[in-house]
Amino acid sequence: MQNKSNYNKNLRPLARKLRNSSTIGEALLWNDLKGKKMLEHTFNRQFPMLVGNKKIIVDFICRKLKLIIEVDGYSHTFKIDEDESRDTILKKENYTVLRFLEKDVKQDIENVIREIEITIKNLEETQDQSP
């Protein structure tokens, strides 16, 4: 049986390498997510997962809410189909996926934060209503 958060320890070295080479957008957003700054929720960055048979490293995850946040830089312009496929796999496992363009994180982080907070509040309400 797979663990609740789909953690994949085999990808840990690659995840560590990605953490050490974060983009500017990832670093800016991490400042607002780390240390339970985001509505008292814990986030992990560059989190290695095995979902189905797909190995994935997500930029940020709140495991309690099953919320994944991705910051898409220029390279994602060429990976739209791959990103959509990943999102579909994650959504089948009941993850909520938010994607932001890196330029939006760098130029308009207030609205990015606002969208994350709205999503968190909606997820909290959904959890409160479940049996």
Q: Where are the beta strands (DSSP E) in the chain?
A: 44-51, 54-62, 67-72, 96-101
Q: Is the pLDDT of residue 101 over 60?
A: yes
CATH number at residue 108: 3.40.960.10
Q: What is the predicted pLDDT for the residue at 2?
A: 41
pLDDT tens digits, 27-55: 999 999 999 999 999 999 999 999 988 88
User: Is 4 inside any structural domain?
Assistant: no
Give residue for tokens 């814990």.
42
Cα 100 from Cα 30, distance rounded (Å): 13
Alpha-carbon span 38 to 4, nearest angstrom: 22
| Residues 54, 9 contacting (CB under 8 angstroms) | no
What global pTM score does this model have?
A: 0.85
- Which domain range does residue 87 map to? 9-129
The verdict on residue 86 lying in a domain is yes
Domain tally, the chain: 1
